[in-house]
Structure 1
Amino acid sequence: MSSQVEQIKEKLGIVDVVSQYLKLEKAGSNFRARCPFHNEKTPSFFVSPTRNSYYCFGCNAKGDIFSFVEAFEGLDFVGALKVLGEKAGVQIVFENKQDKDERVGLYSVMEKASMFFEENLKKESKIQEYLKERGLEEKTITDWRIGYAPDSWSSLIDFLKKTHSIQEIEKVGLIKKKEGGSEYYDRFRGRIMFPIFDNSGRVVAFSGRIFKDDGKSAKYMNSPETVLFSKSKILYGYDRAKFSIRKHNFSIVVEGQMDLLMSHQAGFTNTVALSGTALTLEHIELLKRLSTNIVLAFDSDNAGVASSGKSAIIGLENNMDVKVAHLKDGNDPADVINNPSADGKQEWKDAIKNAKHIVEFSLNVLLDKYPPAGGDKRRLLLQASQTVLP
């Protein structure tokens, strides 16, 4: 691996790399720009072609091309190595050839499945109408590659087995074997399909929402854990949100796909979503690479409040500044933004802007549940906040 690193450094200078992300201006023998790692008006981020490094006099960020890409894109070293290897035309070898070839094939299966679902949605006018009623614009549906899995036992298998083996299709969790038999059937049937992407934008899993509720099937069905997908390590939308999180210096975390899509559509592109799991340490580590500030915007029902508390603990334990957005009347973010009787986008904007530190939010919840005997809630809240908040 060290030889690959040296090859990349020989082919890519620091100015070559940084100029692809920032607008650089000449400053003597160096270049400068406004630092991407903290908010500033006067440029204090300097790039030195002679030293092949960068340094910020405002926040002390420093390093080479690898540390820059790691910090800017929110990647680990291996991820940065892949990105820079591609830019430099250097082939990166991590695994033995058999493992690498297998993963390439599995990514191909997922990509073709996503295309299959997308094409099927185009044939389903009722589902398209339903998505628009939920507030999704055509551009959002297309950009996020939303699709539809036909209500058929084997339509996806029949499509994929033309180019891939049954073993590959099963390995990525798209099909299941019938109990006591040798035949397979499609895992997702009659569902609106949301592809889940890894940090590099590759399809690695799906979340499927039932369209016709039969009262028996789960409302949402997610891909199982596979060699490509681990739900505790992937945040829905992270691949598209990372630049915006860095720019705005905070992330918004919501619970579901619709919440995320509506938030991005409303202009809050620093939003990511949990896909059928609680916030994990791995999620926090991903977000922390981009910003230590996080706003939790979960459903405002009892379950959502409890989930906010649990998630906040993980964030606080890892030196994150955690705030919680208050949503009215038990709504979720998608409901708020798509509210036809009010300016949903403005209400969402206000909820994010007025998000409270988790301690203050928790005190409010407790005081609402157990009002003080004297009735002076504001005074008690102020005193408690001044004592507890950092």
Structure 2
Amino acid sequence: MRGSVDTIKEKLDIREIVSQYVKLEKAGQSFKARCPFHNEKTPSFFVSPVRQSFYCFGCGAKGDIFTFVQEIEGLEFREALKFLAERAGVELEYQRGESKTEKDKLFGVLEEATSFFEKELTGNKPALAYITSRGINEETIKKWRIGYASGEWRLLYSHLQSLGYDKEVILKAGLVKLKEGGEPYDVFRDRIIFPLSDQNGRVIAFSGRAFSKETEPKYLNSPDTALFTKSEVLYGLDKAKESIRKQDYAVLVEGQMDLVLSHQAGVLNTVAASGTAFTQAHLERLRRLSSRIILAFDGDSAGEKAAEKASELGISLGFEVKVADVPEGEDPAEIVKKNPQEWKEVLRQSLPAVEFFFNKIEGKEKDRRKLGKQIEKKILPMIKLVRSAIEQSHFVSMLSKRTGIKEEILWEDLRRVERKQDPRRIEEPRLDKKVPILSQREQIEERLTEIELWRKELPESFKKEEIELMDNLSGIILHENLSQLSIELSRAEALKDNKLVAGLARQIQEVHSQIRKLEEKKKML
């Protein structure tokens, strides 16, 4: 693994990779641009071909070519490694006996299956008519490579075998299953087919919606394979990631139709869980792009319950979660078909999850005593999950104003609430565990180190910041010294060591004098 990393770094220039995402301008020996990780008007993002690294003086993002790809593409390290290996033409050493050829065959057979399903759709007028009747236009069909699987039992299997793919590869790709006698049959039959892709846009699985009313189940996903794990893949993330990063929030919907029509309406930061519950793995993928989400599930009781569970999971992991009020009996796809602008308005009026679910309870429960019980049962446990004390205070104040319940009573009940925790689904994300929490002194020292490294490329304005940082650092060090000297003085006084007491007292006076001079200097700047 280490050898592959070094080889990729030797073959790829960070400037060439970064320039594919942002426009770089020469700045001394380095290059600068507006940071792709936060909104800014003046470029503060620098790339050094000499050090093969980047640093943003606006948001503090920094790292090498791998860090950049991880952040910009929303990938884990191994995924970024594969992404860059392909760019560099480097063959990776696969572990546990898994060969590159094996995965290539799986990608290849899935690509052939996608093309086959696309062709089948063009030749099936009833299926095509159904898709267009749902409001999906021709451009969207092509963009999302929507297809159709006929009702025949072995049509896809026979086609793939005619192209030279053996039964084992087709089976491993999740395209066929075996009968008791070992005879293969197609997994997807009589279904509208939606290809699911990885972060690089390569097809890794399929989701099929029943075309005929008699076909069961209504939705069917590929089984888990070497390329696809249902609980980790968000449908549409490969197309939505750039928009999610730029707008700093993601819209999560339930179904494939909801997803493609939301994109067709111009809401390009939409993704779907696609036939499974919203999981922590989904959130970890989204976290690399944004920690803000809007849940827009179907306007029925099942959709509301799913949104409540997803809200609790998101809030517990530190996400800012809002919920869109989809009209009762409708879903996002139906709203878009009726009026795309109405869909955008529904999203604009989304509310913080706590407020949304309180509104739902308040609308159903007119008895004030029963309303209080529902708040205790459903709303307070959700507030308990909120990490910010300020946010908790805001929601408690909101509840008090709207119900007449005194804040101190709500706080008392909130303190008694046990924080919900499912160890299988709710745990601190791995990303947070890897990021050390720096003290103020460490943060300033790190910033000064970066200024020194990039000094030649930085504008004159950074000199003033450097002076201020150095003064702040001096102040912190002086106060640390003062604290240590005070501890030592207390010990000396306890030992009745008068000589040491006198010496420490002089040192303390000197530190106080230095602190006063530093404060006077700051006033003059």
TM-score relative to the length of structure 2:
0.69
For residue 506 of structure 2, what is the aligned residue in structure 1?
A: none
**Distance of 1:284 and 1:244 partners within structure 2:** 17
**Distance of 1:325 and 1:290 partners within structure 2:** 20
Greater gyration radius = 2
Change (3 A) 1:360 1:65: same
Asked if the contact 1:364/1:381 (under 8 Å) is kept, the reply is no
Residue 353 of structure 2 is aligned to residue 352 of structure 1: no
Residue 366 of structure 2 is aligned to residue 366 of structure 1: no
For residue 338 of structure 1, what is the aligned residue in structure 2?
A: 337
For structure 2, the 5+ residue unaligned runs are 372-396, 411-525
- Greater alpha carbon shift after TM alignment, 250-259 vs 186-195: 186-195
For residue 455 of structure 2, what is the aligned residue in structure 1?
A: none
For residue 440 of structure 2, what is the aligned residue in structure 1?
A: none
Asked if the contact 1:199/1:234 (under 8 Å) is kept, the reply is no
**Superimposed CA distance per residue, residues 47-104 of structure 1 (whole angstroms, 9 cap, x where no aligned partner):** 2233322111211111111101100000111111122222223222233665332222
Per the TM alignment, residue 381 of structure 1 is displaced from its structure 2 partner at its CA by 5.2
Asked if the contact 2:83/2:200 (under 8 Å) is kept, the reply is no
Asked if the contact 2:70/2:80 (under 8 Å) is kept, the reply is yes
For structure 1, the 5+ residue unaligned runs are none
Change (3 A) 1:56 1:159: same
The 3-state SS of whatever aligns with 2:31 is strand
For residue 183 of structure 2, what is the aligned residue in structure 1?
A: 183
**Distance of 1:8 and 1:40 partners within structure 2:** 31
The 3-state SS of whatever aligns with 1:328 is coil
**Distance of 1:328 and 1:36 partners within structure 2:** 36
Percentage of pairs with the same residue:
50
**Distance of 1:363 and 1:276 partners within structure 2:** 27
- Greater alpha carbon shift after TM alignment, 278-287 vs 326-335: 326-335
Residue 295 of structure 2 is aligned to residue 296 of structure 1: yes
Change (3 A) 1:98 1:321: closer
* One-letter amino acid matched to 1:364: N
For residue 390 of structure 2, what is the aligned residue in structure 1?
A: none
**Distance of 1:94 and 1:209 partners within structure 2:** 35
Residue 401 of structure 2 is aligned to residue 383 of structure 1: yes
**Distance of 2:294 and 2:56 partners within structure 1:** 27
Of Structure 1 and Structure 2, the greater helix share is in 2
Of Structure 1 and Structure 2, the greater strand share is in 1
Relative contact order (C-alpha < 8 Å, sep 6+): which is higher?
1
The 3-state SS of whatever aligns with 2:193 is strand
**Distance of 1:40 and 1:381 partners within structure 2:** 37
Asked if the contact 2:34/2:45 (under 8 Å) is kept, the reply is yes
- Greater alpha carbon shift after TM alignment, 220-229 vs 283-292: 220-229
For residue 170 of structure 1, what is the aligned residue in structure 2?
A: 171
Change (3 A) 1:51 1:170: closer
TM alignment of 1:1-390, pairs within 5 A: 1-95=1-95, 99-162=99-162, 163-179=164-180, 181-214=181-214, 217-339=216-338, 344-371=339-366, 373=368, 383=401
**Distance of 1:229 and 1:52 partners within structure 2:** 33
TM-score relative to the length of structure 1:
0.91
Change (3 A) 1:109 1:88: closer
**Superimposed CA distance per residue, residues 102-158 of structure 1 (whole angstroms, 9 cap, x where no aligned partner):** 222122221111111111111011211211110111011111111111111211111
* One-letter amino acid matched to 2:122: K
Matched pairs, number: 379
**Distance of 1:213 and 1:276 partners within structure 2:** 18
The 3-state SS of whatever aligns with 2:99 is helix
**Superimposed CA distance per residue, residues 258-281 of structure 1 (whole angstroms, 9 cap, x where no aligned partner):** 000001111111111011100111
Change (3 A) 1:170 1:49: closer
